[in-house]
Amino acid sequence: MTGPSNDGHDNGRAPSSGPTGNEPAGPAPVTPGAGWHRAGGTDLTKPRRKRRKGGGGWGSGNREAAMVPEAEFSSYYGRQIIKTPTWKNPEVPIYFFLGGAAGTSSVIAALAEFTGRPKLARNAEYAAGVGALASVVLLIDDLGRPERFLHMLRVFKVTSPLSVGSYILSPFSALTSAAAAFRLLDLAPVAGLATKVVPFLPKVAGSIPVLRKASAVGAAAFGGPMATYTAVLIANTAVPSWHAPYDELPFVFAGSAMAAGGGITMALTPVDEAGPSRKVALTGVAVELAAMHRVENGHGIVSEPYHLGKAGKLLRAAKAATVSGAGITALAGRTRAGSVVGGVLLATGSLLTRMGVFEAGMASAKDPKYTVIPQRERIAAREAARGATADGTEGNAVEAGEASTITR
Amino acid sequence: MTAVSSASPGLEGPESKNRLFGPLPDVQGEAGYEADHPARVGFFTDTSVCIGCKACEVACKEWNTLPMDDSQGKKDAMGLSGMSYDNTGMLGANSWRHVAFIEQSRAVDLPMPAFGRPGDDRTDAGLPVNPVSPQADSVLNAQTSVLNAEALSEFDPQTGQSGADKQIRWLMSSDVCKHCTHAGCLDVCPTGALFRSEFGTVVVQQDICNGCGYCVPACPYGVIDKREDDGRVFKCTMCYDRLTDGLQPACATACPTQSIQFGDLDELQARADARLATLKGQGVETARLYGRDEDDGVGGNGAFFLLLDEPEVYGLPPDPIVTTRDLPSMWKAAAAGAAMIVGVVASAFVGRKR
């Protein structure tokens, strides 16, 4: 009882809880839950803490040790409350990574087409096409009934990020692979082969660049959403460490996507054309690190899984790869070797970030404390707010007539 | 047959209030049913009279031909949980009813009262008290209702056992899908396999589900799960097939103590409120309703509970919210992120060609 509002609250209740001569015959239940706790020696409803053994995620830095202190909470034999996502690991985080890299690459490709950077445009189109096609394969592979993939397209629901995502991925993959296919026709052997299948191809050869550019522009329209919808996909769950940072995760994914897309196109392209890729990658790193810092530190106990165990290791590795990739890009990005090493490191960092975020969510689903404690805090905050309002009215009533019954 | 959308209430629309969260008086109408749809039905699970017999679990498995699984949800495996009489462990794809067992004790002051339970003599706090003769009232209640704790007090395992300096009680609770007013599983299902039935329940169409698994982490209660060898998700249907034939769900039919009560939701809610008042009047301080409040994070449950301890003691989330409540903010952030990518890339192409 520290605040005056709490005192007032107690005072307001005092008259009704005073002795009435009709108390329960047994002990009055003064503790929450009337003093009931799990029978037996140790209270097994308090989950056993497993992570400490062997140092685990606690060993490598005192940052974790200084995190949220152990909070008291109850659970059903330490069992998790929500279900662990059934999504495949690492297929799904790889899908997030590829979607981001392909999405950014498609935007780079469209702009490179119209700014006289043919090699950058070509490489970005290939990167986007390959990434998008691999995304489709991974997404279908993750289904429990892959042969029913098209059921995704029988309804459209804005309440389902996966439904919206299906309508982003479908045109995106079609358009990026079309642009990449038109680009492949620039190669003589491919064109020769295609002419055998489609004999009239040479006659329409003049329209191929137009079709390619149109496809690239169309794909670019879906590129940004392709990179960020996956953040909504995981944030729109009951998984505590994914749901709580729902305002920041799309920016983590956007930054990570720019780092990956910029890095990959930079690594593939001669340095004199890859200037925009370098800038995109470096901006992406800044956005990703800033947003990720808020995810990792801004959500109390729910931020904890981002520092612990496998997720913590992955995210530390991701940060190391991203920062060193950005450093190499900034210092040596205009040399061929520097751009390749920097680009590979940036892409690796992006992939590790997605894997770390995925693991953190899985860990938060498996431990009931991440479900119970934030919800308890929510209830307490609500009751405090309600108590503050109720206090005002009760205080007036007390002043009006019952002040004499108050004892402190 | 009415045209029924398997889509959940959308983001837009003229009356967008309470379409994603909050109270929803006509949940079937919101899903597209004509006004002549049947009343919303539900379960009221009164755990204060649950005896942990698991008849509900067995009846559910029998009727719905659910496969055997162990306490971790592993199919076709038999194993003991090693923690209590509960070897079902949790709700899942193969267990649509789950009876939780919690053994609790509390210290009491000596000597123990020899004349019944604490609070049994209290007559001023409860609602249904006969002003002339409370005793006659309780006899009447005992004769008319098996749900009256007065009648059960002589053999109630939850409060009756007492040692020299401590009391023991067993909490038993039959958990089930909550059939939320705003169901996260239904909201996020991308195929429309999950739909709102004309009874207001939430059901999976097994011929549509493609096993994307999105509903599994979307459920704030951890109810729905995937059967790995099958690939699809499964959960309680509130015996949709029985309801359409005018029968009660199998679990409610099998329950020998009327702990599981099935009926029209508004009627059950009134019954639960009365039962809570009775228990409070009898001094059961820790009794509370769970999922009854239509202002909670899921707009209230179609299957709600009377609990004798905090929800998390039973493995239930204390303050669940439907995840799609925050979806508009998420889409805004995603749109801003997508626009940022385009803006950053565009600005990178501006300026000196290098």
Q: In Å, how far are A110, A119, A235, A258, B119 from A115, measured between CA atoms?
A: 9, 11, 37, 19, 83
Running along chain A, 408 residues long, what does each successive block of 10 average in pLDDT? 37 38 41 68 48 35 44 87 95 97 97 94 97 96 94 95 96 97 91 89 89 96 96 97 97 97 96 95 97 96 96 97 97 95 97 97 96 95 87 46 36
Looking at the complex, report in whole angstroms how far the Cα of residue A175 sits from the nearest Cα belonging to chain B.
17
When computed from its CA atoms, the radius of gyration of chain B, rounded to whole angstroms, is 24
Strand B233-234 relative to strand A37-38, pairing: unpaired
Asked if A372's CB is within 8 angstroms of B318's CB, the reply is yes
Categorize the per-residue pLDDT at B165 as very low, low, confident or very high, splitting at 50, 70 and 90. low
Question: pTM above 0.90?
Answer: no
Containing H/E element for B149? Answer: helix B149-152
Asked if A107's CB is within 8 angstroms of B212's CB, the reply is no
Residue of A nearest to B119 (CA): A24
Dihedral-angle region of residue B194 (phi above 0 means left; psi in -120 to 50 means alpha; beta otherwise): beta
Asked if B191's CB is within 8 angstroms of A154's CB, the reply is yes
By Cβ distance, the residue of B223, B309, B344 closest to A283 is B344
At residue A401, the pLDDT reads 37
Cα B17 from Cα B322, distance rounded (Å):
15
Looking from the CA of B322 toward its CB, the CA atoms found within 13 Å total 34
CA neighbor of B223 nearest in space, from A200, A85, A83, A279: A83
Cα B89 from Cα A80, distance rounded (Å):
11
At residue B167, the pLDDT reads 78
At residue A57, the pLDDT reads 32
- pLDDT above 80 (res B338): yes
Asked if A258's CB is within 8 angstroms of B341's CB, the reply is yes
Residues of A in contact with B162 (CB under 8 A): none
At residue A96, the pLDDT reads 97
Amino acid identity of residue A223, one-letter, is G
Cα B116 from Cα B283, distance rounded (Å):
12
Q: Is the ipTM of this complex over 0.90?
A: no
At residue B345, the pLDDT reads 96
When computed from its CA atoms, the radius of gyration of chain A, rounded to whole angstroms, is 29
The mean pLDDT of chain B is: 84
Size of interface A-B (CB pairs under 8 A): 338
* Greater model confidence, A221 or B118: A221
By Cβ distance, the residue of B83, B108, B168 closest to A26 is B108
Residue of B nearest to A333 (CA): B354
Show Cβ contacts of residue B137 under 8 Å, excluding neighbours closer than 6 positions: B128, B129, B130
At residue B351, the pLDDT reads 66
By Cβ distance, the residue of B187, B228, B342 closest to A160 is B187
Residue of B nearest to A101 (CA): B341
Would you state the structure tokens that stand for residue A134, as one six-digit string? 């691999």
A85 touching B, CB under 8 A? yes
Residues of A in contact with B100 (CB under 8 A): 76
Map tokens 């192409």 to a residue: B349
Asked if A143's CB is within 8 angstroms of B212's CB, the reply is yes
A44 touching B, CB under 8 A? yes
Cα B304 from Cα B175, distance rounded (Å):
9
By Cβ distance, the residue of B184, B220, B310 closest to A33 is B310
Would you state the structure tokens that stand for residue B85, as one six-digit string? 């009489």
Cα A71 from Cα A73, distance rounded (Å):
6
Residues of A in contact with B212 (CB under 8 A): 142-144, 152, 162
Would you state the structure tokens that stand for residue B158, as one six-digit string? 């939850």
A84 touching B, CB under 8 A? yes
Residue of A nearest to B314 (CA): A76
Asked if B122's CB is within 8 angstroms of A162's CB, the reply is no
Residues of A in contact with B207 (CB under 8 A): none
- Would you mind telling me the total number of residues written for chain A in this entry? 408
Residues of B in contact with A383 (CB under 8 A): none
By Cβ distance, the residue of B192, B213, B315 closest to A85 is B213
Looking at the complex, report in whole angstroms how far the Cα of residue B348 sits from the nearest Cα belonging to chain A.
5
Asked if A86's CB is within 8 angstroms of B225's CB, the reply is yes
By Cβ distance, the residue of B11, B190, B330 closest to A163 is B190
**Residue A146: is the preceding peptide bond cis (ω within 30°)?**
no
Question: Helix, strand, coil proportions of chain A in percent (round to 5)?
Answer: 75, 0, 25
Residues of A in contact with B216 (CB under 8 A): 83-86
Asked if B345's CB is within 8 angstroms of A251's CB, the reply is no
* Residue B227 near residue B93 (C-beta atoms within 8 A): yes
Asked if A162's CB is within 8 angstroms of B214's CB, the reply is yes
By Cβ distance, the residue of B217, B283, B319 closest to A375 is B319
Q: Tell me the residues of chain A between 12 and 31 that have a Cβ less than 8 Å away from chain B.
A: 20, 22, 24-27, 29
Asked if A235's CB is within 8 angstroms of B315's CB, the reply is no
- pLDDT above 50 (res B259): yes
Q: What is the mean pLDDT of residues B1-24?
A: 59
Tell me whether residue A134 is exposed, middle or buried, using C-beta atoms within 10 angstroms of its C-beta: 0 to 12, 13 to 18, 19 or more.
middle
Would you state the structure tokens that stand for residue B81, as one six-digit string? 């949980």
A81 touching B, CB under 8 A? yes
Q: Which residues pair with B223 in a beta bridge?
A: none
Q: Which of A160, A258, A335 to mutate to test the interface with B (most CBs of B within 10 A)?
A: A160
At residue A295, the pLDDT reads 97
Q: Tell me the residues of chain A between 297 and 336 that have a Cβ less than 8 Å away from chain B.
A: none
